[in-house]
Amino acid sequence: MTTEVRELVDEGAARLRRVADDPRHEAEILLGAALGQPRSWLLAHPEQRVLDCAATDRFEAQVTRRAHGEPIAYILGEKEFWSLPLLVEPAVLIPRPETELVVERALAHLPPDSRSAVLDLAAGSGAIALAIAKERPGCRVIGTDILPDAVSLAIRNAVRLGLERVEFHVGSWFDPVADEVFDLIASNPPYIAEDDSRVEPCVRRFEPHAALFSGPTGLEALREITAGAPRHLKPGGWLVVEHGDTQGEAVRGVMCARGFVEVATHRDLAGRDRCTEGRRPS
């Protein structure tokens, strides 16, 4: 028995209504992945009959996982960030568009021909480090993460993207680079307070707790990074961090208290405070 693409999408969308803002779009993505076709192919061939039973079974299994709240990125094992197709697994946070602002601000401080040293703390899948390395091929880029599985995945992403020159090391914050100094330090650290009621249940359930939650206030990791950064920044070097949309003022205060100058907060595309930067005095 065969089924039209349109019918499969309709059935999948109906099952995803409770968990997806755009269930039809997600059903199309999952069916395309199951068939080995881009979503554009599905839109162009809605009356195409699916003859591959194995593909139909894959689609049904994927829809079931998504219907239970599992993020699409984990189901497909991939998420695009800065136009880079990154492998993602439950050991790492799913890269989000807002984090691209950290990359934008980092690049603003790194000229195109820069040969600077760059450090990415809490590197996870390697998203920030690899995006910077792609745009600034002359820079030396290092990422650290406390989770061995995250570092292993980041290395796989680097090899897959042909960016093997990026180094990734296991360790807490600055420990793997104890004696090194950098021109720029970037980070998307844990910054959510443990009791923050705005966190979606599926995020709490599926994404790594250690990559999301920092402690009672959400500022614990940001304070630790800001305290350690001056010892690992060259004079005039920059610290660029992502944070929550209500934390801009607090993070500016933390940076100023540690002697950073030219401290400024930048907003994401939704107009929310998302990234704060500061420079170590020359």
User: Within 10 Å of residue 156's Cβ, how many Cβ atoms?
Assistant: 16
How far apart (Å, rounded) are the C-alpha atoms in residues 180 and 175? 10
Rounded Cα–Cα distance for residues 3 and 109 (Å): 54
The residue written with tokens 């809605």 in the block is 46
Contact between residue 66 and residue 30 where contact means Cβ atoms under 8 Å apart: yes
Instruction: Please provide residue 169's backbone torsions phi and psi, each rounded to the nearest 5 degrees.
Output: -135, 145
Q: Do domains 3-69 and 91-279 have the same CATH topology?
A: no
pLDDT for the residue 51: 62
pLDDT at residue 2, rounded to an integer:
53
For residues 50 and 56, is the Cβ–Cβ distance under 8 A? Answer: yes
Q: What is the pLDDT of residue 41?
A: 84
Neighbours of 139 (CB within 10 A): 22
pLDDT of residue 1: 45
Domain ranges of the chain: 3-69, 91-279
Residue 31 exposure: Cα atoms within 13 Å on the Cβ side: 30
236 three-class SS: strand
- Residue 115 pLDDT: 97
Query: What are the tokens at 58?
Result: 């894959």
Sign of CA dihedral 32, 36, 38, 44: negative
CATH 3.40.50.150 fits 91-279, yes or no: yes
Ranges in the chain, pLDDT < 70: 1-2, 51
Domain 3-69 has CATH 1.10.8.10: yes
Contact call for residues 278 and 262 (beta carbons, < 8 A): yes
| Whole-angstrom distance, CA of residue 116 vs CA of residue 208 | 31
